[in-house]
């Protein structure tokens, strides 16, 4: 079997995938773009620059890599034109068009470049399916009001995702309190927490929910939304009743820890069938 390369960004996902591959006994390579340290304990990553992408792809192939998974967040890098090698320079129009597009366009272009080089691009769920829960309530129990708020939030996230804006929303009593944009989920929840209960018209009504889902039409081999215990604590600080997400479309960083934390905080966790 060919080796797998984890193209690592920031966040916990590279480490989770490295641990899953280690447990399965599968040989793998960890690689990261310069300036975006993944910090996976026990692994010394290969480092590459976008301006020398083709030699890097050749190096991966020489190491016996046949499969690639993108894991973690990567900001758009600063390009230094004088560093392009002749073969990578032929990709400049494709690279620049990707950097000018939204997240979906940039990720789609990256996947296309790796596939054109002969690599099979996998999603994180293909390597560690336990990270992506199927349908079901994992903790607590959403009320009828919560279920209505989740349905409203799901519609909002679908509309936002169609514009390549974000993957999350907070809804309470049918009202959208906040949507996820570039600063991310924690910033969105921090905004809601900062408003106290001022955004909820009925103090005795539904407390509100966080809902996360991939963008419509998104290539799910990259940039799946992720939730962890920090998300739970932020949702609790924002006064919400729980967190829901699209089943099969969101990564849980540590399911057992999240279930325990949700029980301790009195929040529900709902992996909702789309």
User: In this model, does residue 138 exceed pLDDT 80?
Assistant: yes
Return the residue matching tokens 């809804």. Answer: 171
pLDDT at 104: 59
**Domains detected in the chain:** 3-127 (3.40.50.20), 132-272 (3.40.140.80)
Task: Express each pLDDT in 39-91 by its tens digit.
Answer: 677 788 899 988 899 999 999 999 999 999 998 877 667 778 888 889 988 88
Q: What band does 1 get if pLDDT is binned at 50, 70 and 90?
A: low
pLDDT at 271: 98
Task: Express each pLDDT in 95-126 by its tens digit.
Answer: 777 666 655 566 777 888 899 999 999 999 89
Strand 226-227 and strand 251-252: the pairing is parallel
Residue 202 structure tokens: 């009925």
pTM of the model: 0.85
Contacts of 183 (CB under 8 A, 6+ apart): none
- With beta carbons less than 8 A apart as the criterion, state whether 166 and 181 touch: yes
pLDDT at 175: 96
pLDDT at 152: 98
C-alpha torsion 179→182→185→186, nearest 10: -120
């Amino acid at each position: 079997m060919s080796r797998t390369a984890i193209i690592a960004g920031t966040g916990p996902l590279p480490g989770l995938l490295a641990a899953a591959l280690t447990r399965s006994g599968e040989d793998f390579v960890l690689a990261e773009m310069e300036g975006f340290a993944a910090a996976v304990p026990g692994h010394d990553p290969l480092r590459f620059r976008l301006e020398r992408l083709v030699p890097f792809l050749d190096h991966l192939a020489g190491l016996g890599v046949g499969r690639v998974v993108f894991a973690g967040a990567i900001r758009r890098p600063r390009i230094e034109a004088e560093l392009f090698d002749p073969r990578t320079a032929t990709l400049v129009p494709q690279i620049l068009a990707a950097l000018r597009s939204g997240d979906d366009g940039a990720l789609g272009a990256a996947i296309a470049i790796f596939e054109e080089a002969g690599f099979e691009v996998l999603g994180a769920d293909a390597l560690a399916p336990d990270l992506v829960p199927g349908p079901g309530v994992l903790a607590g129990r959403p009320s009828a009001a919560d279920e209505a708020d989740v349905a409203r939030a799901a519609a909002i996230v679908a509309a936002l995702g169609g514009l390549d804006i974000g993957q999350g929303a907070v809804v309470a009593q049918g009202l959208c309190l906040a949507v996820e944009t570039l600063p991310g989920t924690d910033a969105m929840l921090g905004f809601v927490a900062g408003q106290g209960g001022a955004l909820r018209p009925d103090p005795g009504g539904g407390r509100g929910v966080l809902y996360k889902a991939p963008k419509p039409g998104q290539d799910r081999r990259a940039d799946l939304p992720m939730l962890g215990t920090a998300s739970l604590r932020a949702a609790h600080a924002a006064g919400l009743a729980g967190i829901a997400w699209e089943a099969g479309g969101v990564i849980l960083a540590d399911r057992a820890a999240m279930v325990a934390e949700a029980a301790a905080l009195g929040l529900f966790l709902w992996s909702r069938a789309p």
